[in-house]
Amino acid sequence: MNIATITLNPAIDQTVFVDHFQLNTVNRARAMQRDAGGKGVNVASFLADYGLSVTATGLLGAENPHIFERHFAAKGITDRFVRVPGATRIGVKIVDEANQQTTDINLPGLPPPPAALNTLIDVIDELAVNHEWFVLAGKLPPGVPIEFIPNLVARLRSFNCNVALDVSGPALIAGLQAQPSLVKPNLDELRQIDLLDGEGLEAVGNAARRINQMGVGLAIVSMGAQGAIFSDGTQLLHAIPPSVTVRSTVGAGDAMVAGTIAGLVEGLSLTEIARRATAFSLAALGSIGAHLPPRAELIALAAKVTVTVVDPAVTTVTPVDQ
């Protein structure tokens, strides 16, 4: 099965390693790393590492595409990005491994000319003929209206394609109206759009169910160290990860999206999808850059994930048989 990712606002992730990072003072970095990034690029990278056929498209600065081109070639990702005038933005990630903390500094990105957006739509239409899944992830670049998101979701649905949507704020509100197949907000993103009413597992479960009632087939709410809620309108599951050493939180949510899609295309049950997605996310936490370990390690990680059945109406939790 062919999968395509769409990244409208990619970034070069410049990761600086600073143990015991402090504000308002001089910090001594011990290392630096640069990676091709952006949420959709990360999802494509994880899927490619898992051995799936992936095409990446979106908008890429014509002045500095080389790090992306090398990355796509190394991962075996088909590059269908539309080049636009200017340089792709840099996102600075300050990683404090000693305290297991990551600080992001994200720049706004390039405003694309209208002709580039038209070209991108043509590319997506072409890909929709033979790609069953599309992942639309990340922020909009400056100058692109919010309506671009729901219009694109609806356009892909008209081709009978499945769409995974991982955006935030007004773009998420608008995108939900187009009824994508899958969404994966985190707790903060739910609060931003007033979908999370209260605290605790019951509130999160109710929010996921409300998303299902909007016509979204699978709603996933990531909750950091507390795991994630998976809801398909019938089942409501809580995936609880084991404790792991965190090198960087960058890309962990993207890995969860990738793991979910990998499970869906393999026809796994929702319980096994929850384990698979959580294992992808755990693997990302232990790596700098969007890279997965071999499948045997992912399977071992998935086996350590506890999945419980949650009923938010009565706040009961029932373990799922391993």
Residues with a catalytic annotation lie at: 254
Distance of CA 53 to the CA centre of its chain: 17
Please tell me whether residue 223 adopts helix, strand or coil conformation. Answer: coil
User: Count of CB atoms within 10 A of residue 299's CB?
Assistant: 12
Q: Strand 90-96 to strand 101-106: parallel, antiparallel, or no bridges (unpaired)?
A: antiparallel
User: Count of CB atoms within 10 A of residue 176's CB?
Assistant: 24
DSSP letter assigned to residue 141: P
Question: Which residues make Cβ contacts (< 8 Å) with residue 163, sequence separation at least 6?
Answer: 133, 134, 135, 136, 153, 156, 157, 180, 181, 182
Please give the C-alpha separations between residue 150 and each of 4, 27, 143, 176, in angstroms, as whole numbers: 17, 43, 16, 8
Is 92 in contact with 21 (CB distance < 8 Å)? no
Please list the residues that pair with 93 across neighbouring strands: 15, 104
The 10 Å CB-count burial string (b at 16+, else e) for 144-173 is: bebebbbebbebbbeeebbbbbbbbeebbb
Dihedral sign for Cα atoms in the order 213, 183, 320, 227: negative
Residue 189 burial (C-beta neighbours within 10 Å; 0-12, 13-18, 19+): buried
| Rg for the chain, CA atoms, rounded | 19
The span from the CA of 66 to the CA of 307, in Å, is 42
